[in-house]
Chain A
Amino acid sequence: GESVGLHLPTLSVQEGDNSIINCAYSNSASDYFIWYKQESGKGPQFIIDIRSNMDKRQGQRVTVLLNKTVKHLSLQIAATQPGDSAVYFCAENNDYKLSFGAGTTVTVRA
């Protein structure tokens, strides 16, 4: 079946280091992917997106990489800050609905 999943449920990173969060998807027909950040008690917040005709897209301190050959997506956060502590989800958009993975909990150590 179609699914979007993350490789690791938790990630601990030192403040100032770079973070890499991975995601694997199974629907090769997917053409649009989104990374969301969810803080405790809040709804998912848009971070960055990428379409399937792109391999890389950069935002402010964040980069998303898409490898369609192995159906893999990653989110890189540069110079991780305490405010980056949250749960991160990748989501796949198909037929105007989002399919989410289970999420990766990022904890930033001071």
Chain B
Amino acid sequence: DAGVTQSPTHLIKTRGQQVTLRCSPKSGHDTVSWYQQALGQGPQFIFQYYEEEERQRGNFPDRFSGHQFPNYSSELNVNALLLGDSALYLCASSLFEGAQYGYTFGSGTRLTVV
């Protein structure tokens, strides 16, 4: 049973560029949440997708957007990259009705903005 899969594992972008990160949820899960983890910090909630809609959003600017596909996979897009966007981006999947009881995290995408 595959867990959460994220791609790519590492990425280097130039300031001002745009980036797309991808996530495939754990089998049986229908909800995807994205988190940003700066070096030495705990993950910070970006947003959550369920039924192809953004259901919850954290304190992140509109440069951060996402999408969920009918197969429950998800993308995170970041426009106009800033140096401060350098972080580990984590995807967590869950079952919406049981979201309190089972978040599974992927290994993340390490984004470096230069």
Chain A residues engaging chain B, CB cutoff 8 angstroms: 4, 32, 34, 36, 41-46, 49, 89, 91, 93, 95-103
User: Does the CB pair A45–B41 fall under 8 Å?
Assistant: no
List chain B residues, Cβ under 8 A from A46.
Answer: 103-104
User: Does the CB pair B56–A95 fall under 8 Å?
Assistant: yes
B110 and chain A: residue at smallest CB distance: A41
Q: What separation, in Å, do the CA atoms of A95 and B33 have in the docked complex?
A: 12
List chain A residues, Cβ under 8 A from B56.
Answer: 95-97
List chain A residues, Cβ under 8 A from B107.
Answer: 41-43
User: Does the CB pair B105–A97 fall under 8 Å?
Assistant: no
User: Does the CB pair B45–A97 fall under 8 Å?
Assistant: yes
Is B42 engaged at the interface, CB distance under 8 Å to the other chain?
yes
Is B90 engaged at the interface, CB distance under 8 Å to the other chain?
yes
Listed A/B pairs (27) with beta-carbon separation below 8 Å: A32-B100, A42-B108, A43-B90, A43-B105, A43-B106, A43-B108, A44-B90, A44-B105, A46-B104, A91-B42, A93-B100, A95-B56, A96-B55, A96-B56, A96-B100, A97-B33, A97-B45, A97-B48, A98-B35, A98-B43, A98-B45, A98-B103, A100-B42, A102-B41, A103-B40, A103-B41, A103-B42
